[in-house]
Chains A and B, each alone.
Chain A
Amino acid sequence: MKHLISIEDLTKQEILKILDKAEEFEDVALGIRKCRILEGKILANLFFEPSTRTRISFETAMKRLGGEVVNISAQEASSIAKGETLADTIKVVSNYCDAIVIRHPLEGAARFAAENSAVPVINAGDGAGQHPTQTLLDLYTIRKECRKLEGISIALVGDLKYSRTIHSLIKALTLFDTKIYLVSPEILSLPEDFLEELNGDIKRAKLEDIIGEIDVLYVTRIQKERFLDEEEYRKVAGSYRITTATVEKMKESAIILHPLPRVDEIDVKVDSMRQARYFKQAFYGVPVRMAILSEVML
């Protein structure tokens, strides 16, 4: 693998290989075992949009493997962008490092960056497009916490229209034998074109009808910034608030995931319930990104 731009670039076998590798790195991610396989390598974190979790988890992953990181923050990146094209920035930065992680507000920016880069490019989110490393960590979390990936039923809840996390995840889930329920307000439903391209057991559903049978409840934030009309946002903002009462209807073995950050779509009281796994999910980002970094750089 040279670049990681879209989850569609990976076969099911390649996905499973990364998940297996992540498993091997878990104790390194926890600091229990030392591993220096990326010593002497430099990763450039090129973030044209603010990010905390993704950027820091890449940085942690790189450092845990003995490598170095140079960060170009959103502010610096935007000032570069004012005077320089992304193509030129990538050509320059790729001379300084061994791999680039990029987050950019425009869809397709990561693919374009890869076309201009001398080193592997990893997409850390491009607009409403793709977020493949988040998907890999989501799959890893499901496999770890549900002890299987095949045969699960999952409800994707919230903003299915603009969420790049959802767009990547749903494509990956269709590679496995999963039952997918789409739960969203009408105006935030998965685009019809997108749905047409997918083969799999995918249905629109009401949360109350399926809450008792699902294995995974995957909640996303309804993104206020996508709404031009604040009133419209308010109408849908609270439509999928997960409370302790919701969780009590779930199976004991079911899990709740969220790519974070959350606003108010999951009540903090849910955090202490056994189904809540979103903070663990955030941790799994480190071993998964270690696996990805070692895959593209070695």
Chain B
Amino acid sequence: MKERELVVSKIREGTVIDHIPAGKALLVLKILGIDERTKETVSMALNVPSKKMGRKDIVKVEGLFIKEEELNKIALIAPNATINLIRDYEIEKKFKVKLPEVVKGILRCPNRMCISNSKEPIKSIFYVKVQDNEVFAKCHYCGRRIRELAEFLL
């Protein structure tokens, strides 16, 4: 904990996302909808030494409380991430992200012949699975598997 505080300052209110695989912090920001127009204060630590992970990233966002859909997306790219909800500089709630079994409307099927990529009124549905410590998702409609989930996040 001390080690982390050295690299990223405390926030008053908001969300701290810890144990992000090294190199995925920018993707987490994208999931949270943080870009150059964002007003919230955002701090980020990349490639922080970690006993569990070797190297990890950390993201802290002042004034933002994470939503369930965002949690599901983060779980897909950082299945071991820890979420800390901060109020008045104190951790109000701390929990690990949970890999959802099914995700709706947050992944795009890479198969261009899949009905989910047509003009039909349809939301993509993927079943999330873990095999040999690797997370993958399977399309409900065409059965196509996705391994590089980050590339297909909507």
Measured CB to CB, the residues of A under 8 A from B are 85-87, 104-109, 111-112, 126-129, 193
Most buried by A among B111, B115, B142: B115
Distance from A113 Cβ to chain B, minimum over Cβ atoms (Å) = 9
Query: Would B113 and A85 count as touching, CB distance under 8 A?
Result: no
Query: Would B119 and A109 count as touching, CB distance under 8 A?
Result: no
Query: Would B121 and A129 count as touching, CB distance under 8 A?
Result: no
Q: Is B23 an interface residue (CB 8 A)?
A: no
Is the contact region of chain B dominated by helix, strand, or loop, or is it mixed?
loop
Query: Would A111 and B113 count as touching, CB distance under 8 A?
Result: no
Closest to B142 in A: A107
Q: Which residues of chain A are near B118, meaning CB under 8 Å?
A: 86, 106
Query: Would B120 and A107 count as touching, CB distance under 8 A?
Result: no
Q: Which residues of chain B are near A107, meaning CB under 8 Å?
A: 111, 113-115, 141-144
Q: Mark B104-125, 1 if CB is under 8 A from A, else 0.
A: 0000000101111011111000
Query: Would A111 and B121 count as touching, CB distance under 8 A?
Result: no
Q: What is the count of residue pairs linking A and B with beta-carbon distances less than 8 angstroms?
A: 47
A287 to B116, CA, bound (A): 34
A105 to B111, CA, bound (A): 13
**8 Å CB contact of B141 from A85, A87, A111:** A111
Distance from B121 Cβ to chain A, minimum over Cβ atoms (Å) = 6
A86 to B116, CA, bound (A): 12
Q: Which residues of chain A are near B96, meaning CB under 8 Å?
A: none
- Given contacts A87-B120, A107-B141, are A112 and B115 in contact (CB under 8 A)? yes
**8 Å CB contact of A86 from B113, B120, B143, B145:** B120
Closest to A111 in B: B141
Closest to A8 in B: B143
Most buried by A among B116, B120, B144, B145: B120
Distance from A160 Cβ to chain B, minimum over Cβ atoms (Å) = 16
- Given contacts A107-B141, A129-B142, A129-B143, are A112 and B120 in contact (CB under 8 A)? yes
Chain B residues touching A, range? 10 to 19
Q: Is B139 an interface residue (CB 8 A)?
A: yes
Is the contact region of chain A dominated by helix, strand, or loop, or is it mixed?
mixed
Q: Which residues of chain A are near B143, meaning CB under 8 Å?
A: 107-108, 129
A197 to B60, CA, bound (A): 40
A108 to B144, CA, bound (A): 10
Q: Is B140 an interface residue (CB 8 A)?
A: yes
Query: Restricting to B135-151, which residues have a CB under 8 Å from any CB of A?
Result: 139-145
Q: Which residues of chain B are near A104, meaning CB under 8 Å?
A: 115
A273 to B103, CA, bound (A): 53
- 19 extra A-B contacts, CB within 8 A, seeds A85-B121, A108-B115: A86-B120, A87-B120, A87-B122, A104-B115, A106-B115, A107-B114, A107-B141, A107-B144, A108-B114, A108-B139, A108-B141, A108-B142, A109-B115, A111-B141, A112-B115, A112-B120, A112-B122, A127-B142, A129-B142
Distance from B153 Cβ to chain A, minimum over Cβ atoms (Å) = 20
Q: Which residues of chain A are near B114, meaning CB under 8 Å?
A: 106-108
Q: Which residues of chain B are near A105, meaning CB under 8 Å?
A: 113
